[in-house]
Structure 1
């Protein structure tokens, strides 16, 4: 079980496949298994060395309860620590939602480590609606089972996986995300090729993702018809063609 220690935090990762390295970063309250469950790993592992990481506070990685430990540069440094453990100087990096936020953190603090960025359902700005994060915190304070009910984890497999989360760690992560100041100041000078995609009905991120893409010179924006925030992660069949095309042009 590969674990790398970064700033006293143990980070779990798994490597699948061969080829150009591609780091995969999951969303909030998920873990690296999501990429397998949603069909991405099976499709991509023949062509890429996939590096699946459990972000701090999630999966098999350590789950501290202090919001300060989830500050953006620290979260981004976890990814660099995994890359260094694998002797990788650069990699393509793909993150969805919270994982996309960490992608922007990498661009802000560790741009030299990035070959290209694929960012789904996220924008490089402070939260437009911090009250949404406060509501999320309030739900988590009532317990992980209550959160599972509130957020629709109804299938037995998905619910069982979600219930393994530490609610105090998720609260700390949410506080840090709510208070993130964004990285708008780096966008116009960012020279990393970026694919930014967002679901057409993603009320949470649609406008902000479009605005973010418009400010990055090397960014391509893809709008996925008919999909909301969760669906634009779960439905890999509609996402993968855009990602494959983007990566093939970089390789």
Structure 2
């Protein structure tokens, strides 16, 4: 199982970078997770649009889903349109991005599925478990497993007791870490710090921690230092081109 970072900026893409976007591959099946701003060009450097087998979106903020629109355009407007792409998201999360085009343009290009906690999903070779995590809008924490390996991804989240179950024993935890040390009071219920991510990773016993969604322009060193105070495992920041082989380690670009 291979996890590849397309981008990791929170809120908007800094110069030359992209917002949240990741590709998870196993047994020849490819899932695109959170196609945020500027992720599609990076995806297309690696694969064709019709080589994506499914899309998962944690929540409806555009830095996590805006590039679903051009991905669907690329599939629908090809000389030979691609089959309908399974797209999974919390109910209503994609209404705004899908409304960017008239319905007829994207008709048949996707098949929408609601993500709801409390039931497992089978997507290709993966088992997906969904967790309702607190954010400004409904947010789905994702745990994906295949071939005895597991990846946990928080989306954007504030403090939650469900994080322990989401991350328990995962081979990789991809954790939102918008701020290094402390989330401002007005957002403390809805976002996390790198220090929070380090504590979650340590208590859950994860093998690797990848910090993502840093505020644009934030240097990685303070975030890494904050997480490392609680977590002594393999640690990195999500930057475009970072890959994680679940049978190996984190490979930085």
> Same fold, TM exceeding 0.5?
no
Q: TM-score range by the shorter chain?
A: 0.3 to 0.5
Provide the TM-score with structure 2 as the length reference.
0.39
Provide the TM-score with structure 1 as the length reference.
0.39
